[in-house]
Amino acid sequence: MSPHELYPPDKGWRAWICVVGGFFGTMSTFGFVNVMGVFEQYYKETLLTDYSTSQISWISSIQTFIMTFGGLVIGPVYDVIGPKRLIIPGAIIMVVGVMMTSLCTEYWQLILAQSLCTSLGATLVFNPALSAVSGWFIRKRAAAVGITTAGASTGGVILPILFRKVEARSGFGWAVRSMGFFVLGLSAVTCIAVSTRVKSPGRRHVSLVRTYIDPFKSAAFSLTSAAAFCVMLGAYVPVNYLSSFGQANGFSPALASYLSSILNGASTFGRIVPGIVADKFGKYNTFVAASLCAGILAAAFWIPITTHPQIIAFAVVYGFVSGAALTVWQAAIGEISPMREIGARLGMVNAISAFATLIGTPIAGAIQAEDGGRYWGMALFTAMNMIGASIFASFARLIITDFAIWAKK
């Protein structure tokens, strides 16, 4: 081991306890974001009836943007001070934001509480947790990251059901507050369980050029970053709009809201199983295949489907392959990054991808509005971005393997 390493990689109960903490961390952060399909449907029908679909979608877009863009600063800070001094205050801020959301009645209040406060806390939880898990593993990194990010999909299954059940009985305020108590419990586990495999070096000079510019001198890193941007631009569109799509095709409001849980349930397996496959057959190989499949599904199946069984089947299959695409690129970045720079590089790519999450769903909503409420343009937008991600990742893979076609990479 190097002088900075405390424990060997891929071994020991501390590594897997960190995965558990990361799983709960992503469940409380991105799990809350994955509920936005249900929130948007509720806002459109009750609180924000005078606002367009595109305007309402800015609530979730800003929320996701801040969560991911925060990695630009938090990644390098994590590399210096470790995870706990970031996660603990982040958990407190996040829970306060959720509780304040329960009191909101106006659009600007939702922007302040849900989009800003909640996401500022969440970025301090999510980015260090993911970086810590990546640092504990080398050979099993894709599987570990897959299990960690599966928390987002698991939260996307549990939290919408919790919201619907409590909202029907006690109203919007207590529905959101119940989610806040749930997030509080998850965050407490994350604060305790997440740790680092290497010593935090403490204060040191941070070179902006070495941290933020030098990585892009690598063509493989730049292409992988472009692939991640495309995935984040397109993958969340069905997550946000599938419930309204189902309702437009004859689903009852209650049944349509369950499409979000179905998609996220499939995405849970899509994050874990392909992660295990990626460790065996190559992270880039898996990333390319998952992104390509998601793009084909959006173009060939989302556009023509209209019946209940078809829409439910699409939610299951798309949830699985998009979950893989959203997960494996993070393990791929870890594979081409030095150990002491994993936090900074993951944070930097997340920050770049944040702009995709900021504009992706509003662009899709604007496309739908221009097309008279139809969904084919939105589906094509998703397909083009997911296929574009597979193309960028393919070129990165070829560079890394010196153009070896059948390499395990």
Do the domain assignments include residue 392? yes
- Among residues 374, 342, 145, 349, the alpha carbon closest in space to that of 229 is found at 349
Name the least confident of 80-94, 141-155, 272-286, 335-349: 335-349
Q: What integer pLDDT is reported at residue 174 of this predicted model?
A: 93
Do the domain assignments include residue 6? no
Q: What is d(CA 297, CA 294) in angstroms, rounded to the nearest whole number?
A: 5
Name the least confident of 140-149, 228-237, 254-263: 254-263
Look up residue 166 and give its two tokens.
């409590």
Do the domain assignments include residue 283? yes
Q: What is d(CA 70, CA 386) in angstroms, rounded to the nearest whole number?
A: 24
Annotate 103-129 with b (16+ C-beta within 10 A) or e (fewer): ebeebeebbbbbbebbbbbbbbbbbbb
Q: What is d(CA 170, CA 186) in angstroms, rounded to the nearest whole number?
A: 23
Do the domain assignments include residue 104? yes
Do the domain assignments include residue 409? no
CB-based burial label for 207 (10 Å; 0-12, 13-18, 19+): exposed
- Among residues 245, 279, 282, 276, the alpha carbon closest in space to that of 396 is found at 282
- CATH value at residue 74: 1.20.1250.20
At 221, the amino acid letter reads F
Do the domain assignments include residue 406? no
Write the CB contacts of 98 (distance below 8 Å, at least 6 apart in sequence): 32, 114, 118, 176, 177, 179, 180, 183
Per-residue pLDDT averaged across 16-21, rounded? 94
Res. 238: pLDDT tops 60: yes
Neighbours of 58 (CB within 10 A): 20
Look up residue 306 and give its two tokens.
């209209």
CB-based burial label for 200 (10 Å; 0-12, 13-18, 19+): middle
DSSP 35: T
Diameter over CA atoms, the chain: 62
Q: What integer pLDDT is reported at residue 135 of this predicted model?
A: 82
Per-residue pLDDT averaged across 85-105, rounded? 93
Per-residue pLDDT averaged across 79-84, rounded? 83
At 136, the amino acid letter reads W
Q: What is d(CA 54, CA 363) in angstroms, rounded to the nearest whole number?
A: 8
Q: Is the CB of residue 165 less than 8 Å from the CB of residue 179?
A: no
Q: How many independent structural domains does the chain possess? A: 1
- Among residues 135, 137, 95, 102, the alpha carbon closest in space to that of 119 is found at 95
Res. 110: pLDDT tops 70: yes
Higher pLDDT, 115 or 77: 115
Do the domain assignments include residue 329? yes
Res. 72: pLDDT tops 90: no
Residue 154 banded pLDDT, cuts 50, 70, 90: confident
Res. 28: pLDDT tops 70: yes
Res. 2: pLDDT tops 70: no
Q: Which residues pair with 5 in a beta bridge?
A: 198
Residue 372, Ramachandran bin (φ over 0: left; ψ between -120 and 50: alpha; else beta): left
Annotate 144-172 with b (16+ C-beta within 10 A) or e (fewer): bbbbbbbbbbbbbbbbbebbbebbeeeeb
Q: What integer pLDDT is reported at residue 194 of this predicted model?
A: 92
Res. 1: pLDDT tops 60: no
* DSSP 3-state of 166: helix
Q: What integer pLDDT is reported at residue 168 of this predicted model?
A: 86
Domain that holds residue 187: 13-400
Q: Is the CB of residue 87 less than 8 Å from the CB of residue 125?
A: yes
Average pLDDT, the chain: 85
Q: What integer pLDDT is reported at residue 265 of this predicted model?
A: 83
Do the domain assignments include residue 119? yes
